[in-house]
Amino acid sequence: MKRVAVLGGGPAGAFAAARLASAGISTMLLDEKLAWEKPCGGGLTWKAWSQYPFLMDNATPRKSVRRTYLTCGPKASATLDLTEPLLIYSRFDLNNMLLRRAEAAGAAIEKARVTGLERRGAGWRVRTKTGSIDAEHCIVATGGRNGLRDVGTQWTQADTLTALGYFIPAEQDHVDLHFFPGFEGYIWIFPRQGHLSAGIAGKGKPATEMRALLDRYLADKGISSRGATYYGHMIPSLDQPSWRPNRVAGEGWLAVGDSAGLVDPVTGEGLYYAMRSGDLAADAILADSGNAASVYRDVLWSEFGADLETGARLAKRLFLGNFFFAGVSTRMIQFLRRSPTILQVVQDLFAGTQSYLDLKSRLMQNRGRVLREIALGHSD
């Protein structure tokens, strides 16, 4: 029987393992941590839970959030009431649910650190601290800090962002997003079961400076980080030139999730891309065409690789650009209050139904309406 080794037990690896095992493939998942908490919001958009309904229909604790407050400096604020809820899990709970799902499908799960990967004929020998296993295919799901240098995305410092923040023992029923003019990133506060995830992610500033920005923001909102758990992490955020040569697959291996650099360059969101890439990697192996790497590369690019490349270009414009003598992010939030058309575009971006590839054409087609709405002064 064909055997697949899944290296990493995060959402991407767990999803791939569940698909393969449920199809009757002998599947071994290896991860040194298994379920663990991670610095991120943990939100699943409509695009994710509508495509995979089990993400909505389960008993795992979560928040269902419809309201988001957006601010940029002292001059711009807006309220966004989502037409479709954002499901917010703690990453530990979500990851644990996905691992249990893979186990129920028949995947063997072992808590072990992968220390080496060696090509053996048409297959692989995967080494751990306690031994080794042989497999025909490897799915690389070791995350952004992938220690296996010959497989997975190769990136430079420009292709990563720093995320840091706190797990705060407090409650709220909405999401906060705050932007700074001239900063390629943002602050978030996401409500989870039993705590808030409050953090900052971005490029171009030292971690100490980013933490100071976050601490000031929390203090201004009256949220204390005393007694909170602090964290820091590196997240892939590929610059536009890195997308086309992105190393996502090779002979006998496929990279998924953060190991493939599959993170939205604008929002930093990676959960949907992690699970979807795990699904597509399993499809490529199950097709048994003898050319899984090429099949996977092609479908990944057509489904969302080209869109994320476009997003990388737009991110620079959104965070660092100027429009009518103010930052683009400031103007965007101001226009949200005055233009129902812009409000709907942002709604669709939050839901995941608006691609970056055709965002410009949609805005251009509606520019006359948007200008009229802004001139008439609609506001909430």
pLDDT top residue among 120 and 24:
24
Pairing of strands 63-72, 175-179: parallel
**Mean pLDDT, to the nearest integer, of 50-70?**
93
Pairing of strands 184-192, 195-203: antiparallel
Q: Do 331 and 349 share a domain, yes or no?
A: yes
pLDDT of residue 379 exceeding 60, the answer is no
Looking up residue 296, the CATH number of its domain turns out to be 3.50.50.60
Range of the domain at 329: 320-376
pLDDT of residue 88 exceeding 70, the answer is yes
pLDDT tens across 292-321, in order? 999 999 999 999 999 999 999 999 888 888
Q: Is residue 211 part of a domain?
A: no
- Lowest mean pLDDT, pick from 119-123, 146-150, 248-252: 146-150
pLDDT top residue among 350 and 259:
259
Q: Do 281 and 359 share a domain, yes or no?
A: no
What is the Cα–Cα distance from 380 to 369, expressed in whole angstroms?
18
What is the Cα–Cα distance from 351 to 108, expressed in whole angstroms?
34
Q: What is the pLDDT of residue 380?
A: 43
Q: What is the pLDDT of residue 378?
A: 53
Q: Do 306 and 328 share a domain, yes or no?
A: no
Number of alpha carbons in the 13 Å side-chain half-sphere of residue 357: 10
**Mean pLDDT, to the nearest integer, of 316-333?**
80
Q: What is the pLDDT of residue 330?
A: 84
**Mean pLDDT, to the nearest integer, of 116-139?**
90
CA distances from 17 to 103, 217, 273 (A): 8, 40, 16
The percentage of the chain sitting over the pLDDT mark of 90, rounded to a whole number, equals 59
pLDDT band at 338 (very low <50, low <70, confident <90, very high): confident
Q: Do 280 and 305 share a domain, yes or no?
A: yes
pLDDT of residue 120 exceeding 90, the answer is no
Q: What is the pLDDT of residue 126?
A: 92
Q: Is residue 47 part of a domain?
A: no
Please tell me the pTM assigned to this model: 0.93
Q: Is residue 197 part of a domain?
A: no
pLDDT band at 229 (very low <50, low <70, confident <90, very high): confident
pLDDT of residue 1 exceeding 80, the answer is no
Q: What is the mean pLDDT of the chain?
A: 90
